[in-house]
Amino acid sequence: MNFENILVAVENGIGQITINRPSKLNALNVATIQELHDAFESLESNTDVRVIIITGEGEKAFVAGADISEFANFSIEEGAQLAAQGQELLFDFVENLKKPTIAAVNGFALGGGLELAMACHFRIASDNAKMGLPEVSLGVIPGYGGTQRLPQLIGKGRAMEMIMTAGMVSAEDAFRAGLVNHVVPQAELLDFTKGIATRIMRNSPFAIGRAIKCVNANFKEGINGYETEIRNFGKCFGTEDFKEGTTAFLEKRKAEFKGK
C-alpha cells in the first residue's frame, strides 16, 4: 500500500505506523484517518505481525489534534457524522483489534491525538510529551471517544478537570494518573516500546487476542464481562497455542507459539 500521510514498516514481528505530517504536527485529517484504518486493517491481517506500534514523525508531536480547517464550517448534522465516522473507522476499530497495539507518544498528543493514543491498548510516553483535550476552548467537545475513554483510564474527577480546563498534563502527571504506563527519554522511546512488544510476542497470540476482547467487554454497556471471560477461556482450550503452552510447561521448555 502507498500512503501519503503515514509510513508503515514491518520488522521482527512488529508493525510500526508513523503518522507523517510533521509540518502540521501530524494533525489528523479525514484522509489520514482513512489511511490509518487501512494500515491497521492490513497489519491485523498480516500473519508476520504480532504487535503494532503507532507513533508520530519528528520530535515535536505524536498527533497535535484534528485538522480544524476541515470542519470549521460544519453544520450540526455534519459534525455528528464526522464523529460517528471517525469513531467507527479508526478509534473503535483500534480499540477492538485482536493484536496488541501500543501508542508511543512522542511530544504533543492533543485532542484527536490523545483520543487515538487512548484507543490503543496502552501508552508509553517520551519525557517531553504533553497530553490534553483542548476541544472546549474551541467551542466543541471531544468527539472521537475522549469523554468516554479518559474517565475509564484516569477516573471521572481528573477527566472532568482535564476536559473542562482544556489544559495539558506533562508525561509525569500522565504517568501518575495512569494515562500512560511508562515515561522514558525521547531518544529511547521506540527501543523501549519495541522491548515491551518483544516480551508480548513470547506469549500466545490467540490468548492475547481473547484477553483484549474480555478486558474491553468490561467497558461495554449491556455486556457481562465475566461471561465473556468464561466463554473465551473455554475457547482457548481448543487451540494449538494451548497445546503448545501446556506441553512446553510440562516438558520444562519455552513455548513456541504460532497463533493458530
* Alpha-carbon span 127 to 106, nearest angstrom: 8
Task: Kindly list the catalytic residues.
Answer: 115, 135
Beta strands in the chain (DSSP E): 6-11, 14-19, 51-56, 61-63, 101-105, 108-110, 122-126, 130-132, 168-170, 182-184
Phi, psi dihedrals of residue 61, rounded to the nearest 5°: -150, 140
* Alpha-carbon span 102 to 122, nearest angstrom: 5
Beta strands in 12-72 (DSSP E): 14-19, 51-56, 61-63
Dihedral angle sign, alpha carbons of residues 133, 137, 143, 148: positive
> Residue 163, Cα to own-chain centre: how many angstroms?
20
State the amino acid at position 147 in one-letter form. Answer: T
State the amino acid at position 191 in one-letter form. Answer: D
Nearest to 96 by CA among 191, 196, 223: 223
